[in-house]
């Protein structure tokens, strides 16, 4: 069974994907971490994000066993991730890795923006997790301030809208729910309630 979990920044998709992986005993790939790790490599090597060939080379050179979880979770890495993710050559460079993960025997859970539409269009279950921009910005702001980042809520809201726009408006694999995806709006749900709803959706689809 392949479970595709897509949705925007801070919708809860990552938390939900992890919980589903635990519940159903499936391996999980957070595909956003691949774009974030590419972004960190691009920043470190001072690559111009307009240089598509150089950014794609950085994506191909990624050592996925050595991703620095702390560095890729910063707001700067996230912002740069959405810029490099708009480059078709970068997406192509990361495609096989995601496909191979999805094809492993026994199934897998992948979360991202284009899993149900591009990476695993035949996934047995497709979830599109969403929430309004204000709620998502508030969650993200709380996370960042808890880590000691002095960023304001207004800045986080502006960044959230900017990232949504870049992800939905790009030509290659834009963020959108697959036609056969089940929508899960977590705006007014607790984490536990959102996870329970997601488990129910998977159970119903099996
Ligand atoms: O999910 P996360 O916020 O970690 O993703 C960072 C960025 O990576 C997203 O804003 C998006 O531009 C890109 N991404 C993507 N396709 C995916 C996963 C992430 O374009 N499957």
- The domain limits of the chain are 2-205
With 90 as the cut, is the pLDDT of residue 74 above it? no
Please tell me if the CB atom of residue 112 comes closer than 6 angstroms to any atom of ligand 1: yes
> Alpha-carbon distance 198 to 201, whole Å?
5
**Candidate of 35, 93, 126 to mutate for ligand 1, largest count of ligand atoms within 8 Å of Cβ:** 35
Q: Report ipTM for this prediction.
A: 0.98
CATH code for the domain defined by 2-205: 3.40.50.300
Ligand 1 atom with the shortest distance to the CA of 166:
12
Supply the pTM of this predicted model: 0.96
Instruction: Tell me how far the alpha carbon of residue 188 lies from the centroid of ligand 1, in angstroms.
Output: 23
53-62, 85-94, 95-104, 139-148: segment of lowest average pLDDT = 139-148
């Amino acid at each position: 069974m392949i479970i595709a979990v897509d949705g925007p920044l801070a919708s809860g998709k990552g938390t939900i994907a992890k919980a589903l992986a635990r519940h159903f005993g499936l391996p999980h790939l957070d595909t956003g971490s691949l774009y974030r790790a590419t972004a960190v490599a691009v920043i470190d090597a001072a690559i111009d994000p307009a240089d598509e060939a150089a950014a794609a080379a950085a994506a191909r050179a990624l050592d996925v066993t050595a991703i620095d979880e702390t560095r890729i979770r910063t707001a700067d890495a996230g912002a740069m991730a959405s810029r490099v993710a708009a480059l078709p050559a970068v997406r192509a460079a990361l495609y096989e890795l995601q496909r191979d993960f999805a094809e492993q025997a026994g199934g897998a859970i992948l979360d991202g923006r284009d899993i149900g539409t591009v990476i695993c269009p035949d996934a047995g279950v497709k979830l599109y997790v969403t929430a309004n921009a204000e709620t998502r910005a508030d969650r993200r702001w709380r996370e960042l301030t808890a880590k000691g980042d002095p960023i304001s809520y207004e800045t986080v809201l502006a960044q959230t809208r900017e990232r949504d726009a870049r992800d939905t408006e790009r030509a290659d694999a834009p963020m959108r729910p697959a036609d056969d995806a089940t929508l899960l709006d977590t705006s007014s749900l607790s984490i536990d309630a959102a996870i329970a709803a997601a488990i129910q959706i998977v159970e119903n689809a099996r």
